[in-house]
Amino acid sequence: MLGDKIRHVHVKDAFGRPGVFGETFTFPFLGEGIIDWTAFFGALKEIDYQGYLSLEFGNDSYLNNVCDGDWTRAAVLLRERAKKLLPRG
């Protein structure tokens, strides 16, 4: 209903269920969570979304353990992952 009003979309993966006892909710690196990216981008295509996508990342553990605390390296990896998730065409 509001599709033509959307101008900016934040892209961030997730894992777990918030507020569920015994489950950890976290934001893993893009493509490592449970988000259905085909459905996500399909919904954007359905409304002919032409705006910006902001790639979000805020997992200190991944940053420190995989990227050695290097935000630039994390940004490059995030962009590479996003390219793989984006639909072709």
Q: Residues 52-69: pLDDT tens digits?
A: 999 888 788 888 888 899
Q: What dihedral angle (degrees, nearest 10) is formed by the CA atoms of 17, 61, 74, 81?
A: -30
* 28/89: higher pLDDT: 28
Average pLDDT, the chain: 87
User: Whole-prediction pTM value?
Assistant: 0.77
pLDDT at 89: 58
Q: Give per-residue pLDDT as tens, 15-55.
A: 888 777 667 788 888 888 999 999 999 999 999 999 999 98
- 40-49 in b/e form (b: 16+ CB < 10 A) is ebeebeeeeb
Task: Count Cβ atoms below 10 Å from residue 81 Cβ, excluding itself.
Answer: 18
